[in-house]
Amino acid sequence: MAGMNTLVTGGAGFIGSHLTEALLEAGHAVAVVDDLSTGRGENLAAVAGSARLRAHWASILEDERLQELVDEADVVYHLAAAVGVRLILERPVETIETNILGTDRVLRSAAKEGKKVVIASTSEVYGKNDRVPLREDDDGVLGPTTKSRWSYACSKAIDEFLGLAYHRNKGVPVVIVRYFNTIGPRQIGRYGMVVPRFVQQALAGEPITVFGDGHQSRSFTDVADAVRATIGLSLDSRAVGEVFNVGSGREITINELAARVRDLAGSRSEIVHVPYDRAYEAGFEDLRRRVPDVTKLRETIDFSAEVDLDTSLRKIIGFYRGKPGPS
């Protein structure tokens, strides 16, 4: 479908900026709303001159034009959210309010004209469920409310409940995408993202700090694949009212990841282990394994991840070479 009007909330963020570029490249018009709390205007530098791009630097909680922007859009891609473990621990109130109230406002706006909304969710909603691989209808197992670490997972689960409720009760065409550890250029390590942190430490010759024992494993997805899946799902009517894991299904331990980053960066950095209690907060809980079952995604839009981990890491290393200081 060519020539759509689209709205990307959080469009100056890591995934949002790549999504914005891809939509523009496909010939669509894009309106971006971002309060630049974690996104950056420079993320859109490559497309800033496009006549089909409009940027609104405002919070979705406060932007008076949100209803108008939603009304003008054929598809709303809702990516605005507080993200990253460290940010969640540092600003729990903002995390909960931004994620839940922001999603509610977008859905209420979309309900007026029945606009399609693609809600960006996360593998965090599975909580402590370490079944391998995780399927979309598997249980979310969350820790206690006394651990703020779980507020993000809970807020994104509420986002999903809200989206599905708006679909069932108000007829809003909603698609939910659960991203699994998406990585790529422009992702920053400031809020706890592991790959950019490892890359910056390796390039600076500093110790590469692995939290915990490093035997925990994850499945990393290149942002180009995540964006391709997101757009594909947004254009397929069979995806409406459904939840999809978006990931690669390939598993690697964090120790192996640290060694891979060091080798590809040509670094001599030492790999050191830091207890979770020292890295985050007392009693911090992490998952031993988190790997998606991507059968539903493949069967719906014939999607499979194409970018291998080494290629992703080389792109990220190239992005950070020559950039001053950590971010």
Which residues are part of the catalytic machinery?
A: 152
DSSP helix/strand/coil, 217: strand
Q: Where are the beta strands (DSSP E) in 96-219?
A: 116-122, 174-179, 182-183, 208-211, 217-218
- Cα angle 176, 174, 162 (rounded to 5 degrees) comes to 80
Question: Can you tell me the distance from the alpha carbon of 53 to that of 32, in angstroms, rounded to the nearest whole number?
Answer: 8
Cβ proximity of 203 and 320 under 8 Å: yes
Chain CA centroid to CA 103, Å: 15
- Cα angle 106, 107, 113 (rounded to 5 degrees) comes to 105
Cβ proximity of 220 and 248 under 8 Å: yes
Question: Can you tell me the distance from the alpha carbon of 320 to that of 325, in angstroms, rounded to the nearest whole number?
Answer: 9
Question: Can you tell me the distance from the alpha carbon of 17 to that of 190, in angstroms, rounded to the nearest whole number?
Answer: 18
Tell which residue, 177, 217, 178, has the closest CA to residue 194: 217
Tell which residue, 253, 241, 302, has the closest CA to residue 117: 241
157: tokens are 């689960």
Question: Can you tell me the distance from the alpha carbon of 258 to that of 212, in angstroms, rounded to the nearest whole number?
Answer: 13
Residue 226 phi/psi, 5-degree rounding, is -60, -40
* Pairing mode, strands 289-290 and 271-274: unpaired
